[in-house]
């Protein structure tokens, strides 16, 4: 089927975009989340400003700005680079906010107990706070990942050849009823990709719950 | 083996602690007004008084979970002035010397009982996992919870969790133990198992400071009874003497309320 093979051509790019941006976000959000709950008001304000700025502007605008608005010497973003950086930075901001919520949801007594035992700040953070916060936020992270998967389609607007871009070009070449076909297929593919994420997240969540209460 | 023989396998020295002129305010609200308390090595001090008197805040000032605005804390060779900058070495020394047990236990829910006790030993004292686990098992056995070693706190009753929390604090060989209303979150029957462990610890000569509403425990176990009200210590001395013949009207009122219910 022509429509299917056209859409499938975009599948690897969709996956690359999603996973790269997610990887950037997962790692980059850690220092930002720490900054968001810093006791230093300047650090906290700077981080808050960054998060609100990034989240306040639609992804499509960021992608256009990165693709067409940035030129440093001879350096310009290629479409894929702009898409990965743009989606990555947006992910950093959203995930940092999710992490911060998780860290704040850990009961205050946990940090106090750790301090009273004489654990260092680093050990308290990575050994006590983060593992508990992760249990709290893992469903939210999975939800964000499925959202990101679908948002990666916005990269089609800056000519990144992912699934929606391929659907559009197929539709343009087949201006008949057949032109609607790739969109149906791409919809099904997005669902097919999100289901395992949701499934794995639920499995992980219930396994961690069992670990704590078993 | 007694609890404290296990607790001080490396013979943690018996230490007292001196707190002088501790004051603490939140904004305009004074919570501790020039409070001084000297605790002799190997004694049990019970802190009682109406809620809002500043008992818990005072206790939390001792290991600097709350930072007093002024005053001095003397323990071992260290003198700490919390109103000024406290260097991290003094803070670490203070926290190594002083163990704490909380009203809400505060066990780490993502670790088994054993790991709750072993993890701080590995991180703070640098013990190997095997050494730490061995010590943890001794302590768990002493508090009667050896069979709970591999369970997570969520599967333990409140009384069991509190006994695990006591074992966790003892595992770091503290010289002084602070108890912040250790039985207040437990129903009375379950509280008894925790009090039993504390009595044993006291009998072994651990220096203890206990914020409590358990008047019988305060009377029978403590060497010094300290009554706090309105951000100050209003009376201190022999527990039996104070309970039978309080000097202050405020103490009398408080004791009548708690003893005659």
| Residues B110, A211: C-beta atoms closer than 8 Å | yes
Domain boundaries, chain B: 3-259
- Residue A39: its pLDDT value, please? 87
Contact call for residues B63 and B73 (beta carbons, < 8 A):
no
- Write the CB contacts of B157 (distance below 8 Å, at least 6 apart in sequence): B190
A49-62 pLDDT per residue, tens: 999 999 999 999 99
CA A128 to CA B159: how far, in whole Å?
22
Q: Say what the pLDDT of residue A206 is.
A: 86
Give the pLDDT band (50/70/90) at residue A157. Answer: very high
Closest by CA position to A129, among listed A158, A151, A109, A155 = A109
Q: Please report the pLDDT score of residue B6 as a whole number.
A: 53
B93 touches chain A (CB under 8 A): no
Place of tokens 């981080």: A47
Q: Is B191 on the interface with A (CB under 8 A)?
A: no
Q: What is the ipTM of this complex?
A: 0.89
B120–chain A nearest CA distance, Å: 7
Q: What is the pLDDT of residue B77?
A: 78
CB atoms within 10 A of CB B241: 12
SS3 call for A21: helix
Instruction: Give the range among A52-56, A70-74, A168-172, B161-165 with minimum mean pLDDT.
Output: A70-74
Domain edges within chain A: 13-163
**Predicted local confidence at residue B4, as pLDDT:** 56
pLDDT digits (tens, 9 = 90+) for B24-42: 999 889 999 999 999 999 9
At CB < 8 A and 24+ separation, what contacts does A12-17 make?
A13/A80, A13/A160, A13/A161, A13/A162, A13/A163, A14/A149, A14/A152, A14/A153, A14/A162, A14/A163, A14/A193, A15/A193, A16/A80, A16/A84, A17/A80, A17/A83, A17/A84, A17/A87, A17/A152, A17/A155, A17/A160, A17/A162
Q: For residue B119, which residues of chain A lie inside 8 Å, CB to CB?
A: 127
Nearest Cα of chain A lies from the Cα of B253 at a distance, in angstroms, of 33
Give which of B32, B162, B29 is closest to B100, Cα–Cα: B162
Q: Report CB contact under 8 Å: A120, B123.
A: yes
Please tell me the predicted confidence (pLDDT) of residue B37. Answer: 95
C-alpha distance from B252 to closest chain A C-alpha (Å):
34
Cβ–Cβ of B110/A212 closer than 8 Å?
yes
pTM of the model: 0.84
Class of domain B3-259: alpha beta
Tens of pLDDT along B133-172?
999 999 999 999 999 999 999 999 999 999 999 999 999 9
CA of residue B218 relative to chain centroid, distance: 13
pLDDT, residue A213, reads 61
Residues of chain B with pLDDT under 50: 8-10
The rounded distance, in Å, linking the Cα atoms of A16 and A80 is 10
CB–CB of A17/A158 below 8 Å?
A: no
Q: Say how far apart CA B62 and CA A165 lie, in whole Å.
A: 65
Q: Which architecture, in CATH terms, is A13-163?
A: Orthogonal Bundle (1.10)
* pLDDT for the residue numbered B87: 86
């Amino acid at each position: 089927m022509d429509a299917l093979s056209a859409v499938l051509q975009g599948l690897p790019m969709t996956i690359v975009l999603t996973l790269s941006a997610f990887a950037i976000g997962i790692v980059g959000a850690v220092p930002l989340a720490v900054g968001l709950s810093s006791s230093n008001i300047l650090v906290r304000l700077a981080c808050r400003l960054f998060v609100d700025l990034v989240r306040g502007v639609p992804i499509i605008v960021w992608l256009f700005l990165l693709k067409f608005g940035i030129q440093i010497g001879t350096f310009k973003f290629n479409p894929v680079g702009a898409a990965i950086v743009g989606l990555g930075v947006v992910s950093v901001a959203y995930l940092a906010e999710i992490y911060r919520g998780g860290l704040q949801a850990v009961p205050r007594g946990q940090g106090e107990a750790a301090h009273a035992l004489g654990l260092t700040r680093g050990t308290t953070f990575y050994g006590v706070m983060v593992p508990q916060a992760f249990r709290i936020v893992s469903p939210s992270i999975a939800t964000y990942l499925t959202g990101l998967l679908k948002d990666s389609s916005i990269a089609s607007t800056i000519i990144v050849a992912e699934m929606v871009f391929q659907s559009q070009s197929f539709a343009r070449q087949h201006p008949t009823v057949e032109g609607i076909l790739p969109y149906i297929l791409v919809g099904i593919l997005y669902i097919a990709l999100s289901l395992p994420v949701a499934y794995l997240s639920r499995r992980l969540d219930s396994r961690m719950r069992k670990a704590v209460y078993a | 083996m007694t609890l404290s023989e296990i607790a001080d396998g490396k013979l943690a020295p018996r230490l007292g602690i001196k707190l002088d002129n501790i004051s603490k305010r939140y904004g305009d609200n004074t919570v501790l007004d020039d409070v001084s308390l000297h605790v002799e090595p190997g004694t049990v001090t019970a802190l009682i008084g109406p809620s809002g008197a500043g008992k818990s805040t005072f206790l939390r000032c001792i290991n600097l979970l709350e930072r007093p605005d002024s005053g001095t804390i003397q323990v071992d060779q260290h003198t700490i002035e919390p109103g000024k900058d406290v260097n991290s070495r003094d803070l670490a020394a203070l926290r190594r010397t002083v163990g704490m047990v909380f009203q809400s236990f505060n066990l780490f829910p993502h670790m088994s009982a054993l790991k709750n006790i072993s993890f701080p030993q590995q991180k703070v004292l640098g013990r190997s996992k095997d050494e730490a686990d061995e010590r943890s098992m001794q302590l768990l056995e002493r508090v009667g919870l050896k069979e709970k070693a591999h369970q997570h706190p969520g599967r333990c009753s409140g009384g069991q969790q509190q006994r695990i929390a006591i074992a966790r604090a003892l595992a770091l060989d503290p010289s002084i133990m602070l108890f912040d209303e250790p039985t207040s979150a437990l129903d009375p029957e379950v509280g008894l198992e925790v009090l039993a462990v504390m009595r044993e610890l006291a009998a072994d000569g651990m220096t203890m400071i206990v914020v409590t509403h358990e008047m019988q425990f305060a009377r029978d176990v403590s060497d010094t009874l300290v009554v706090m009200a309105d951000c100050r210590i209003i009376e201190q001395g022999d527990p039996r003497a104070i309970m039978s013949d309080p000097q202050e009207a405020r103490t009398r009122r408080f004791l009548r309320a708690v003893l005659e219910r």
